[in-house]
């Protein structure tokens, strides 16, 4: 549980029911992750440099990971209740700010997981329309998946969010990908080289989404 800070009384946070659509791995599954953009891959898609360098961000000072505390994740995802100090003092401001940012990130992570899908057909894409309705020829293989009511919901899956795909019969091997573009009720995803060689058009896959953490770490 989150301990009270600064000597003030703590207010309980009730667990939030977990989303039934979240895709989880079988217990004990050993996973092989095929990276979307491994070192050495030069992706020619517009904006792909952001995807390939976002996890290697370097600033004037080293950027810490600031991992989400397990108790905050458990609270947001409904596995247990925790205590959170609602009061701000000059002695606990930094701690409270970190807790607020972690709570926001954990909630965003949970809401993004609502878009997890089981048995969704994939569609290879060689061209698409940009924001100005101009036809773009994809210089890298993209994958389109349909996601009902995607545009009407907020918060939503965002560009550069991560996605993991695997065959329902082989959850031990996952393909890492990135959201390259959100278009209406569909997503354009970028996976690692060779994804379409082993996943022909119409293949049904399970998808799990995760938020990109760079902005949270910068805060």
Q: 140 is in which domain, residue-wise?
A: 117-217
Q: What is the pLDDT of residue 12?
A: 38
Coil, strand or helix at 100? helix
* Residue 58 in domain: no
Q: What is the pLDDT of residue 25?
A: 60
Q: What is the pLDDT of residue 57?
A: 54
* Residue 129 in domain: yes
* Residue 159 in domain: yes
* Residue 185 in domain: yes
Regarding pTM above 0.85, the answer is: no
User: In the chain, how many domains are there?
Assistant: 1
* Residue 145 in domain: yes
Q: What is the mean pLDDT of each run of 10 residues along the chain (219 residues)?
A: 39 38 59 82 64 56 68 70 58 71 76 88 86 75 85 70 92 91 88 91 94 63
Q: What is the pLDDT of residue 60?
A: 63
Token pair 């009270």 is found at: 4
* Residue 67 in domain: no
* Residue 86 in domain: no
Neighbours of 180 (CB within 10 A): 26
* Residue 204 in domain: yes
For residue 144, the domain's CATH number is 2.40.30.170
Residues 6 or more apart whose CB falls under 8 angstroms from that of 27 comprise: none
Distance CA 106, CA 73 (A): 6
């Amino acid at each position: 549980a989150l301990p009270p800070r600064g000597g003030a009384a703590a207010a309980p946070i009730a667990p939030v029911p977990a989303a039934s659509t979240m895709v989880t791995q079988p217990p004990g599954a050993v996973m092989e992750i095929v990276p979307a953009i491994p070192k050495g891959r030069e992706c020619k898609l517009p904006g792909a440099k952001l995807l390939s360098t976002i996890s290697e961000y370097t600033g004037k000072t080293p950027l810490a990971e600031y991992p989400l505390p397990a108790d905050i994740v458990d609270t947001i995802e409904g596995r247990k209740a925790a205590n959170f100090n609602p009061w701000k003092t000059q002695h606990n401001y930094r701690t409270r700010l970190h807790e607020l940012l972690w709570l926001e990130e954990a909630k965003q992570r949970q809401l993004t997981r609502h878009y997890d899908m089981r048995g969704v057909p994939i569609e290879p894409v060689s061209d698409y329309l940009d924001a100005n309705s101009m036809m773009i020829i994809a210089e890298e293989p993209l994958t389109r998946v349909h996601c009902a009511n995607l545009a009407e919901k907020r918060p939503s899956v965002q560009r550069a969010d991560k996605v993991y795909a695997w065959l329902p019969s082989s959850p031990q091997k996952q393909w890492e990908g990135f959201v390259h573009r959100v278009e209406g009720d569909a997503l354009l995803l970028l996976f690692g080289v060779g994804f379409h060689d082993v996943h022909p058009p119409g293949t049904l896959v399970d998808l799990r989404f995760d938020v990109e953490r760079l902005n949270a770490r910068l805060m």
